Structure 1
Amino acid sequence: MLWIPIDRSIDIPLNRQVYQQIREKILNGDLQSGERLSSTRELSSELTVSRNVILEAYDQLLAEGFLDSRRGSGTFVAEGAFLKQHEKKPALDRIDEKSKEKNIIDFRSGIPALDLFPRKLWAKLSHSLWNDIAPSNFGYDIPEGRLELRQVLSRYLSRTRGVECHPEQIVITSGATQALTLVSKLLLSPKDIAIMEDPITSDIQSIFKASGSSIYPVPVDEYGIKTSLLPEDKNPKFIFVTPSHQFPLGGILPIQRRIHLINYARKNNCYLVEDDYDSEFRYEGPPVSSLQGLDSERVLYIGSFSKILSPALRIGYLILPMHLIEKCRQLKWFSDLHTPSLDQLILAGFIREGYLERHIAKMKKYYKNQRDFLMDCLNTTFSNKIQISGYSTGLHLIAEFNEIYFSKELLKNIEIYGVKVYPVEDHSIEKDKYHNRIILGFGHLQKGEIKEGVIKLYQALYNLNY
């Protein structure tokens, strides 16, 4: 019997479901070359579907070469249709549609309050731009991005982050991910070594590993990367750091360690890559100045507007020493020619008119209130069973639990209770150090969701009925 589950509640036609599942079984080797399939009449009876459904699925598989039909003998799996599958890569953390459909409270980090995006101001600037823009602006543009945006961005970053750069040192990218990919192509070759904080975002590890290079992990503590553990014999191409808000643990790198990093980079003739992903939202005191401001010739600085405004904008930036600019522009051109020009012009106006800084000030108050509410819920619900850290900046905090091991089985059980959480361990390079810590994002959740999510998390961890 050929077991094929049929789901009549989804939009995929039944014949397509049968086709896809048989195709997958052949490609995976579950159905092997020469193996005889059930007749269309037998399979339609087994699956309780119309015979026409099976006929259409078989006809498609025959047309694509997956099956052979032998007159008087039946239908068989064709030779040479098995495809050895690559090892599956871990899925990127994201809020997916299935989680929404299942009403799962998703504590994914790094998602801003999308409902508070400044739509009216954005629409006003967009309307004005579309009314007044010259036809020439609808053509191809330069890879490094619109000068208007690079000019206002250089002034804004100098004023708010202590970044020292000329507009010519900025390359506008389609988000931070493209900036990281450009850095990888710019600085790494196979067998090179990149030093990274440990733990650090798993997606960034994957980007750098894709170049064929090796990653050398350096542990972090409550202040960030432990610069005293930087190796003396590795000759790295760069050190990747998140000094203003270490991801995921939340430390802020003190000046002594920043100076140590600069001196190490100078001594070893390597670069520092600074990811400044959400430092605008610092709740205790003003934002910390950038590492780039200490040595603009050694530091490559990455930022984006995904967490400040919206991931949907897909606008980020990479600031480089002047001697790397021309090569980076070429790589950007090969990648996608240029980031969408009109969105850049709208964003330039948004920054120039002071709307960005006002929006950040507003959202900083909002996120602090959300953070405090989450901390109150955690402390009230878990009492002395939990320690909270990494909450001075950004859109997430770290919850460390006494005597809890966040295994895959436990995470599945938590999701059954209606909550999705993300272990720190998923982002560690050297494993089994953070098995009792999870990342809890709060920027995109309403207070009711936060409260309900914390209660359900408690129920899941201690096997309580719900």
Structure 2
Amino acid sequence: MIWIELNKTSEKPIYQQIYVRVKEQILLGELAEGERLPSSRVLATTLNVSRSVILEAYDQLIAEGYIKSKQGAGTFVESGISLEGFPSGVLPPVSVKTIDSKNNPKSIKNNLIDFRSGVPCLKKFPRKKWGSIGKDVYENIEASLFGYSSPEGSEQLRNVLSTYLDRTRGINCHPNQIIITSGATQAFTLLAKLLVKSNSEVLIEDPVTKEIPEIFIERGAKITPISVDEFGMQTERLTTKRKACIIFVTPSHQFPLGGILPIQRRIQLINFAKKTNSYIIEDDYDSEFRYSGHPVSSIQGLCPERVIYIGTFSKILSPSLRIGYLILPNSLVEEVKNLKRYTDYHSPTIEQVILARFIKDGHLEKHIVKMRKLYNKKRAFLIKCLKNEFGDLVTILGASTGIHLVGQFNIKFSTKILDEIKLNGVNIFPVENHALVKGHHNNKLIFGYGNLTEEELEQGIKRLRNVIEAEIAKKY
């Protein structure tokens, strides 16, 4: 019998804790010569950890000669290993057979499966190529680039971006219209400072990323929700009593419901902006990952003088890079440059130079192709899991693009149910959290899958089903 207690707050990796405790028991003779160990799948379920963690621990024990694997038979303790006087006490003994994950919410919580949206697969960051380019950049760039730079950002990156976005997103701009920002959040903050006057009106999709209206409200804006359907913003509902306003949209992949705004609505939106002397803010946060056909072209390419385009590399590469950008009508460029200067002077320069090289040499597009295949596989697997566990009780929304989808269920997710879901090891957010007008989306959950393995996706959906089944059972 294996005795293991894991400390999931320890700096020591979980696989190492398992490896150390099994080794201890073998050396102390608590695991006898020839004794069969639990299978990796059984032990993973019992300890509420990933099976890959168990396999890593077992592989290390096999490599050091403590255990051996017999194909088709199992894994066994090797002979001649018991060591008299071996000092134990690294971990207090607790039989894994006494650990019941259903009755040990603390254990589950420490192994949370996080369906947070907007997080790419962090393990797949192209660190080798990025590091190679970075090494060359640091060794060979001119010394002046280590000094202060201009607020609009690296000229090299802006030139490369202008060409790249024209080819891939149908963006119509000169490099001088691009302002490099510290992520998309700074881009929104700069625009709020520039465009929001006393009691300005912002027409905004509903539901929407909840931080967006908060940024504009903080500047004193009046928010007017415009409801969305399966095709995105319902542009026929656009109306304002003010002379000018701001219109916020995510036309290439509405967040969170996933609709793609058709050309008829795009034209209607542009005509409304022209008529009211308003600006459209186009947030293009993850449209590179489209799974049928090519990515949808931008609204900016249709009307550069009325559209402000926001892009980011957080979803494509990594949030930690903190590199986003604004593409502005010529009339707004100087004002935003001044705001940027007084905000942080400029975004980090060296990372911009590395990114410029990364894009120019074709590595970004290769990475996108690679990740599109990976995310498409994860997306299909997640849909399969949802259908296997819930069948006709779930409807999938917005799965054609991006790294999240929405599941619409036959129950409403109260705060109590969501707390119970989290207590059972799943972190997930309802669409209702992003709704400006409450009460219409509390049966929908957002499933971010970019940074989860298939094993985590499957386990997360099973845990979710257990909670939902229990809630349904309470009603009957």
TM over 0.5: yes
Equivalence for 1:119: 127
Q: Could you say if the C-alpha distance between residues 206 and 339 of structure 1 is closer, same or farther in structure 2, counting changes exceeding 3 Å?
A: same
Equivalence for 1:386: 394
Equivalence for 2:430: 423
Counterpart code for 1:455: K
Confirm whether residue 451 of structure 1 aligns to residue 464 of structure 2: no
Equivalence for 1:69: none
Equivalence for 1:228: 236
1:104 and 1:445 map into 2 onto residues whose CA distance is: 11
1:218 and 1:235 map into 2 onto residues whose CA distance is: 18
1:10 and 1:263 map into 2 onto residues whose CA distance is: 56
Equivalence for 1:329: 337
1:234 and 1:228 map into 2 onto residues whose CA distance is: 17
Counterpart code for 2:435: S
CA contact (8 A) 2:109 2:423 kept: no
Between 128-137 and 363-372, the greater mean CA deviation after superposition = 128-137
Confirm whether residue 395 of structure 1 aligns to residue 403 of structure 2: yes
CA contact (8 A) 2:109 2:424 kept: no
CA contact (8 A) 1:367 1:395 kept: yes
Counterpart code for 1:117: F
TM-score, normalisation: structure 1? 0.78
% identity of equivalent residues: 52
SS in 2 for 1:463: helix
Equivalence for 1:360: 368
Superposed displacement of residue 405, structure 1: 1.2
Confirm whether residue 207 of structure 1 aligns to residue 215 of structure 2: yes
2:318 and 2:206 map into 1 onto residues whose CA distance is: 27
CA contact (8 A) 2:109 2:425 kept: no
Superposed displacement of residue 235, structure 1: 3.6
Counterpart code for 2:218: A
Counterpart code for 2:359: I
Equivalence for 1:410: 417
Q: What are the within-5 Å matches in structure 2 for residues 80-159 of structure 1? A: 102-159=110-167
CA contact (8 A) 1:99 1:106 kept: no
Q: What are the within-5 Å matches in structure 2 for residues 7-18 of structure 1? A: none
CA contact (8 A) 2:281 2:309 kept: yes
User: Which blocks of at least 5 consecutive residues in structure 1 are unaligned?
Assistant: 1-8, 12-97
CA contact (8 A) 2:108 2:423 kept: no
Superposed displacement of residue 232, structure 1: 4.4
Confirm whether residue 305 of structure 1 aligns to residue 285 of structure 2: no
Quick one: which of 334, 348, 353 aligns to 2:356? 348
Superposed displacement of residue 463, structure 1: 1.7
Superposed displacement of residue 233, structure 1: 2.3
Superposed displacement of residue 209, structure 1: 0.7
1:10 and 1:452 map into 2 onto residues whose CA distance is: 21
SS in 2 for 1:393: coil
Superposed displacement of residue 234, structure 1: 3.8
Q: Could you say if the C-alpha distance between residues 201 and 189 of structure 1 is closer, same or farther in structure 2, counting changes exceeding 3 Å?
A: same
Counterpart code for 2:277: N
Equivalence for 2:59: none
Counterpart code for 2:417: L
Equivalence for 2:385: 377
TM-score, normalisation: structure 2? 0.76
- Any idea what the Cα deviations from partners look like across 1:382-408, whole Å, max 9, x if unmatched? 011111110000010010001x11111
CA contact (8 A) 2:162 2:174 kept: yes
User: Which blocks of at least 5 consecutive residues in structure 2 are unaligned?
Assistant: 1-7, 11-105
Q: Could you say if the C-alpha distance between residues 244 and 105 of structure 1 is closer, same or farther in structure 2, counting changes exceeding 3 Å?
A: same
Equivalence for 1:29: none
Output the aligned Cα RMSD. 1.7
SS in 2 for 1:324: helix
Q: Could you say if the C-alpha distance between residues 326 and 410 of structure 1 is closer, same or farther in structure 2, counting changes exceeding 3 Å?
A: same
SS in 2 for 1:294: coil
Superposed displacement of residue 101, structure 1: 7.1
Q: Number of aligned pairs?
A: 370
SS in 2 for 1:273: strand
